[in-house]
Amino acid sequence: MATTTVSLQRTARFYDSTIGKKAVMAITGLMLFGFVLIHLLGNLQLFLPLDASGRYPIDIYAEKLQHLGGLLWIARGILLGAVILHIWSSISLARTQMKARPTGYSKKDNAHSSYASRTMWISGPIIACFLIYHLLHFTGGQVHPDFQPGNVYHNVVRGFQQWPAALFYIVGMLLLGGHLEHGFWSLFQSLGVSHPRYTPILKMGAKAFATLIVVGNISMPVSVLLGIVK
């Protein structure tokens, strides 16, 4: 009996450790990744023309998502849980770090690491602000100039015609790109996967993936600003 409690405690203490928290960040990060990819593929339907019934494919897609009902709410719940765990862990790690070096260097050279890796603490929280804005913009419509529930095509085009909004999306996506460029290979390292042959490939894959997400997402506000999509 006693040993069982000890081992249960060991598993529970796992999250107390920084390695445990990083593993949680890696797994939730991976889930968010999956979301970001699917989200992009769905949204690129913005570029499809009106179909035979005179409706935009992206509006039909949005309607289908709404009809998932309970399933949609389960997916939203899981994503929200992942975001909360990801942010919660990052805050708690940040506290450890601040205590670990109370006095900084008067001179410090960071020439050997990537910019993205050193700015996870900046890109992360800005992405969080972006996420809230994004939900109030296209999901709830509270900060949208002319929100019409269900009329996704209209909402996106009208939303991005306001250049400050479009600009915020572009900046947000560039930061997400940096977050992904480091995060996508870092998460493997955090979960204990590293190999001299595959890790460099993984790093290149991370760059390609981040570029795909950034370019794909930015293409939408840019096309609206340029009047290609109207």
Partner 1 sequence: MQLTLHIWRQKSAGARGKMATYQVDANEHMSFLEMLDVLNEQLISSGQDPVAFDHDCREGICGSCGFMINGIAHGPQRGTTVCQLHMRHFKAGDELWLEPWRASAFPVVKDLVVNRSAFDRIIQAGGFITAPTGNAVDGNTIPVAKKYADRSMDAAACIGCGACVAACPNASASLFTGAKISHLGLLPQGQPERMERALNMVGQTQEEGFGNCGNIGECEAVCPKSIRLEVIAGMNLDYLKASVVWRPAGEESGAG
Judged by the rule CB under 6 A, the positions of this chain that interact with ligand HEM are 22, 25-26, 29, 32-33, 36, 83, 86-87, 90, 93, 120-121, 124-125, 127-128, 131, 179-180, 183-184, 186-187, 190
210/224 with CB nearer ligand HEM? 210
The partner in contact with residue 56, picked from partner 1, ligand HEM, none with C-beta cut-offs of 5 to 8 angstroms by kind, is none
Q: What is the DSSP letter of 84?
A: H
Q: To which residue do tokens 């949208």 refer?
A: 144
Token digits of residue 180: 């992904």
Residues that bind partner 1 (CB under 8 A): 3-4, 6-7, 10-11, 13-14, 17-23, 93, 96-97, 99-114, 117-118, 120, 182, 185-186, 188-196, 199
CA distance 27 to 48: 34
The partner in contact with residue 179, picked from partner 1, ligand HEM, none with C-beta cut-offs of 5 to 8 angstroms by kind, is ligand HEM
Residues 127-140 as b/e (b if ≥16 CB within 10 A, e otherwise) read beebeebbeebbee
Closest distance between ligand HEM and the C-beta of residue 162, in Å?
24
178/221 with CB nearer partner 1? 178
Contact 180, 213 (CB under 8 A): yes
The partner in contact with residue 14, picked from ligand HEM, partner 1, none with C-beta cut-offs of 5 to 8 angstroms by kind, is partner 1
The partner in contact with residue 127, picked from partner 1, ligand HEM, none with C-beta cut-offs of 5 to 8 angstroms by kind, is ligand HEM
Look at residues 133, 142, 204 and name the one whose alpha carbon lies nearest to residue 165: 133
Closest distance between partner 1 and the C-beta of residue 213, in Å?
20
Closest distance between ligand HEM and the C-beta of residue 26, in Å?
3
Closest distance between ligand HEM and the C-beta of residue 145, in Å?
25
The partner in contact with residue 90, picked from partner 1, ligand HEM, none with C-beta cut-offs of 5 to 8 angstroms by kind, is ligand HEM
Look at residues 218, 213, 223, 227 and name the one whose alpha carbon lies nearest to residue 32: 213
The partner in contact with residue 87, picked from partner 1, ligand HEM, none with C-beta cut-offs of 5 to 8 angstroms by kind, is ligand HEM
DSSP for 157-198, written as a single string? HHHHTSHHHHHHHHHHHHHHHHHHHHHHHHHHHHTT---TTH
CA distance 230 to 220: 11
